[in-house]
Structure formats: C-alpha cells, structure tokens
Amino acid sequence: MFLKKLTFPIIIIFLPYIFFDVLLPLYTKELGYTTFQFTILVSVFSISQLIMRLLLGRVSDQYSRRSVFIVSLLFFVAAYLAFSVADSLWILVIARVVYGIASILLTISIFGMITDTNDNFAQKLGRFDSNRNLGGFIGVGLSFYILSNYELLNGWKVLFVVCGATAAIAFIYSLTLPKRSESQRNINSNRVVLSPEKRKIWMVNMLFCLISSMIVVLLIPYLQAVFNAEIKEIAITFILPMLASAFLGSFLGKLGDHMGYRKAITLSTIISALTISALEDFCSIHLAIQLLI
C-alpha cells in the first residue's frame, strides 16, 4: 500500500530518465568536447557508482527506508540544479556523481520496501520500472516543448531547472507521507559471501551493465553519424519501446513471478542478444546501400 503512494514522486523525479541519455552527448558536443571526453565522463560516473553502491548500501542499513527515500530526493534536487548550470566537463562530472548518489539511495530504499513485502517481488519491481519509464516518457514531451523554443544550450538549462523544481515538489510531497512500520533489521557486519548460483546472476547482471554502458556511450553519436539523424528523429524512433516500457512493466513483472527467475533471465538474455544482432545487421545493410548509391 505504501508503495502505491510513492507513484507520484517516482514519476516526477524521473522526468530526465529517457531524454538525459539522448541529450547528454549532444550537449557535451555543443560545449566543444569530443566523444572521447564524453566517454571519460561516463567512465568516471560508472566507477564512482561501483564504489558508492558498496558504501551507501551499508550506510542506508542504519536508517529507515522512508528516510533514505526522502534523502535521495534531496540529492535529485541538487543534481538537477547542478546540471542546469553545468557549462564545463568537471561540473558535469560532479552533477553526474550527485545524480548517481540519488539514484542509488532511491533504488536501495524502493528495493528494500519491495523485499519487505515478501510477495509478488517481480510484479512490484515491474510497477516501479513502469512508473520510472512513464516519468521519462513525460519528460520526453517536456524536452520537445522546451527545445522547440530554445537552442540546445539554453534549453538544457531551462529543462533541468524545471526538473529541479519537480524534484523539490516530490520531496515536499514525500514529507507528508506517513511513517511506515518496519521490522527490526539485523545488520550483519561479516563479509558477504555469495553462493555459486548468486555469483552466476551477478555475472549476468555485470555483462548487461557492461553492454548497456557501451550502448549509452556510442548509440546516439553513431545514429547521428551513420543516419545523419536529428534529435527529434532519434526520439521518435524510441517512442514505441518507451510506451511499452512505461505501461507493460507490471505485467511483465507478474509474468516473471510465474515463470521463475531462471526462465525470466534466460528469456531476457536471448531477447537482448537478438536485438543487438538485429541492430548490427540493420546498420550493416544501411551502410551497404549507402555505398551502392
């Protein structure tokens, strides 16, 4: 029940969730930075997240899920306002690190609330993903509106000022939520040892993260270079998957609960492999046609 009350703040806190990955490489290019310098930005963010997950996970165990969630919203406000004034690479790095802290704290608190319920884990996780993607979909519409009235550099600033304001609204709203009762959590200070089965899951997750990180860095510049696509054309291309992810998360999570995690992980791995292969083949065909023409 408490998770349903978090729907509104989750939606409005994740307005940049989709357009951010599209606009960031374009924004850094507009500032005069190369693709290599952009990869440095992404690499610093990825390394800092790896370290912060370990530290913040231990710290968050000392506080309630609600408190961690509310603190994460404050970090979102700070991150979005930092992005709004980011006119150099080092400010972007700082903003990305703060954004990473916010995302980690929010994810830890939400996942903790979900695991506390002990039922329909995947369905509730899917609902969270749907709310997050719905916020990102709304954010795409917001970015279209703002960037149609401003050039990219000024539009970026206006966009993140608006996102900072909505994050502040989410923070104020969350303060009004009643405190939820939480069972006493026993904090084990011993070293965590993963079972062989969990190590396999960890490896699969690491591979997914590795692939997604490479795609984030290269996809938008690649689409611009190969297809000479503008930002609006790129956004339109992703409308269908954005809609699917925004409204099918709960259903797919429920399906995962019935299938079991083994079948769900196997199926998602196969689909991901087929998608990447199809993208590679399509790009190769397009380049061949261009050469013939």
How far, in Å, CA of 290 to CA of 195, rounded? 51
| pLDDT at site 59 | 72
- Tell whether the model's pLDDT for residue 142 goes beyond 70: yes
Q: Which two tokens stand for residue 11?
A: 């939606």
Read off the pLDDT of residues 206-255 as tens digits, 9 standing for 90 and up. 777 666 666 666 666 666 676 676 666 666 666 666 677 666 666 666 66
Query: Of the candidates 231, 206, 208, 207, which has an alpha carbon nearest to the alpha carbon of residue 219?
Result: 231
Helices 261-292, 196-227: crossing angle, 10 deg rounding: 20
How far, in Å, CA of 8 to CA of 101, rounded? 21
- Tell whether the model's pLDDT for residue 287 goes beyond 70: no
pTM of the predicted model, to two decimals? Answer: 0.77
Q: Which two tokens stand for residue 52?
A: 């912060």
Helices 35-60, 19-30: crossing angle, 10 deg rounding: 130
Q: How confident is the model at residue 291 (pLDDT cuts 50, 70, 90)?
A: very low
The stretch 17-25 carries a mean pLDDT of: 81
Q: Could you give the domains of the chain?
A: 2-178+229-259 (1.20.1250.20)
| pLDDT at site 34 | 83
How far, in Å, CA of 114 to CA of 132, rounded? 15
18 residue type, one letter: I
Which residue has tokens 């608190």?
109
How far, in Å, CA of 132 to CA of 18, rounded? 9
The stretch 178-207 carries a mean pLDDT of: 64
The stretch 102-125 carries a mean pLDDT of: 81
Query: Of the candidates 187, 181, 166, 279, which has an alpha carbon nearest to the alpha carbon of residue 227?
Result: 279
| pLDDT at site 194 | 64
Lowest mean pLDDT among 56-60, 101-105, 231-235: 231-235
Q: How confident is the model at residue 111 (pLDDT cuts 50, 70, 90)?
A: confident
Query: Which residues are within 8 A (CB) of 71 and not within 5 positions of it... i.e. 6 or more apart?
Result: 105
How far, in Å, CA of 286 to CA of 283, rounded? 5
How far is the CA of 264 from the CAs of 39, 82, 91, 152, 220, in angstroms? Answer: 32, 38, 40, 40, 29
How far, in Å, CA of 120 to CA of 42, rounded? 34
Q: How confident is the model at residue 108 (pLDDT cuts 50, 70, 90)?
A: confident
- Tell whether the model's pLDDT for residue 37 goes beyond 90: no
| pLDDT at site 41 | 76
